Amino acid sequence: MRTPIIAGNWKMNMNPEQTAEFVKAVKNDLPETTEVESVIAAPAVDLPALLENAKGSNLKVAAENCYFEDDGAFTGETSPKVLKEMGVDYVVIGHSERRGYFHETDEDINKKAHAIFKNGLLPIICCGESLETREANKAKDWVEGQVTAALKGLTGEQVSSLVIAYEPIWAIGTGKTASADQAEDICAVVRKTVAKLYDETVADKVRIQYGGSVKPANVKELMAKKNIDGGLVGGASLVPESYLQLVNFNK
């Protein structure tokens, strides 16, 4: 009953010309949005090209980040209000690269989640542990803590509609995928955390993605798991053929 959601996260890898070419190459072979939601998260500078070329297709558009204020003196930031005006659907927040390189805190991520909802967008909230945390057997507590902090003050209705992406940091861009069982294990913790904070109905509705070296070769096995409703895909989302195999994983 949860619609699978496969989102490419391009990170800082494409320009507007490449964006336009990519969308032209995939737009006619995407599944119906009721069957699988196909999303691309692109850098802010590529969003106009992505939106323009995706018009009338089944491709949904995400920003890779935004600020938690709508406007003001915040040099270099991206307004969630303007993202909405442009026609963006989702905003990725709390990616481990933003937490690590740009020092984003749980509190920032929570403020962003509120700002995203205020503007009628939907967040894809990332969480995930480092190798050190996993080896110390603390991955479950860590992820539960991140999810709890990110959702603070959101309503059950809001949480039912958002997406949580579990991305173990040690599996990102390393070629080391968490095994389907390891991924399922923590995605189940994410759902249990939502049930504990809200209730079973909200937990049944929230969609949970796994991210970390997802590719056409492992997407089916991951998507077969009970608590995995999608993927947040970096490297393998940059090539049209590979992206199409990912979003059409069930064919």
Ligand X SMILES: O=C[C@H](O)COP(=O)(O)O
Q: Which residues line the annotated binding site for substrate?
A: 9-11, 173, 213, 234-235
Pick from 61, 235, 243, 249 the residue near ligand X by CB under 6 A. Answer: 235
String of contacts with ligand X for each residue 104-143, x by CB under 6 A:
----------------------------------------
Say if residues 85 and 48 touch (Cβ distance below 8 Å): no
Please name every residue paired with 41 in a beta bridge, in sequence order, or none if there are none.
9, 62
Interatomic CA distance for residues 114 and 153, integer angstroms: 8
Judge residue 231's burial from the number of C-beta atoms within 10 Å of its C-beta, 0-12 exposed, 13-18 middle, 19 or more buried.
buried
- Among candidate residues 95, 104, 129, 144, the one labeled active-site is 95
Interatomic CA distance for residues 36 and 250, integer angstroms: 9
* In the complex, residue closest to ligand X by CB: 234
Catalytic residue flag (residue 95): yes
Interatomic CA distance for residues 112 and 84, integer angstroms: 14
Q: Which two tokens stand for residue 221?
A: 């096995």
Cβ within 8 Å of residue 56, ≥6 positions away: none
String of contacts with ligand X for each residue 47-86, x by CB under 6 A:
----------------------------------------
Q: How far is the CB of 6 from ligand X (least distance, A)?
A: 11
Q: How far is the CB of 94 from ligand X (least distance, A)?
A: 11
Q: How far is the CB of 212 from ligand X (least distance, A)?
A: 5
